[in-house]
Amino acid sequence: MISVIQDTLQTQPGASTRYDSIWAHTGIPSQQPEGLERIMLAEDKLYVVLAVVLIIWFGIVYFILRTDRKLSKVERSIESGIPSETARHT
């Protein structure tokens, strides 16, 4: 399939490839999916939605944890009563 896409991309040098021209040749993939695609394409691609939601969720979780770490640093500096010259970037 990659070669079909690359062929189509080479037919019109200098012009941007019309996206529908790529998919007009390819049709529905017939070979069995393997590897990661076996999971992702199962259940009518429901797991792709799960992956997207998890990416967003873990991104936000990571961000919240980073903010908490900055908060702890400030709290510690208040308790110790020693403000530093310039705040260090975490």
Residues near other proteins, by CB under 8 A: 1-2, 5, 16-20, 23, 28-29, 31, 33, 37, 40-41, 43-46, 48-49, 51-53, 55-56, 59-60, 63-64, 67, 70-71, 74, 77-78, 83-84, 86-89
Quote the least distance from Cβ 62 to other proteins, whole Å. Answer: 9
Do residues 26 and 1 make contact, with C-beta atoms less than 8 angstroms apart? yes
Quote the least distance from Cβ 26 to other proteins, whole Å. Answer: 8
| Distance separating alpha carbons of residues 81 and 77, to the nearest angstrom | 6
